[in-house]
Structure 1
Amino acid sequence: MTSAPVQILVADDHDLLREMLRVYLSTESDFEVETTSDLPSTIDLVRGGASFSVILLDYNMPGMQGLAGLRELREHAPEARIAIISGTATPDVAHQARAAGASGFFPKTMTPSALVRAIRALAQGAEYEADAFLPSDPVATHPLAAQLSPRELEVLERLCKGLSNKEIARDLDIREPTVKLHVKTLYRKIGAANRTQAAMIAKQQGLF
Structure 2
Amino acid sequence: MGAEQTAAVRVLLADDHPVVREGLCAMLESDPGIEVVGQAGSGEEAVALAGRLAPDVVLLDLRMGELDGVGATGQILRQSPRTKVVIVTTYEEDSDILRAVEAGAAGYLLKGSSRAELIGAVHGAARGETVLTPSLATKLFRARAVEAPLLSGRECEVLRLVGQGLTNAEIGRELFIGEATVKTHLLRAFKKLEVSDRTAAVMTAWERGMLS
How many residue pairs are counted as aligned between the two chains?
138
The TM-score normalised by the length of structure 2 is: 0.58
Equivalence map 1:57-206=2 (5 Å): 57-65=60-68, 67-128=70-131, 130=132, 132-134=134-136
CA deviations over 1:122-173 (Å, ceiling 9, x no partner): 1111124x56352867xx79xxxx9xxxxxxxxxxxxxxxxxxxxxxxxxxx
CA deviations over 1:178-206 (Å, ceiling 9, x no partner): xxxxxxxxxxxxxxxxxxxxxxxxxxxxx
CA distance in 2, matches of 1:110, 1:125: 20
Q: Which has the higher helix share?
A: 2
- CA 1:116 to 1:65, structure 2 compared with 1: closer, same or farther past 3 Å? closer
The equivalent position to 2:13 in structure 1, one of 3, 10, 14, is: 10
- Where does the alignment leave 5 or more consecutive residues of structure 1 unmatched? 147-208
- Checking the alignment, whether the CA contact within 8 Å between 1:81 and 1:123 is kept in structure 2 is yes
- Where does the alignment leave 5 or more consecutive residues of structure 2 unmatched? 147-212
- CA 1:126 to 1:133, structure 2 compared with 1: closer, same or farther past 3 Å? farther
CA distance in 2, matches of 1:85, 1:100: 14
**Other-structure match for 1:46:** 50
Partner amino acid for 1:13? D
Q: Percent identity?
A: 24
- CA 1:66 to 1:32, structure 2 compared with 1: closer, same or farther past 3 Å? closer
CA distance in 2, matches of 1:119, 1:133: 18
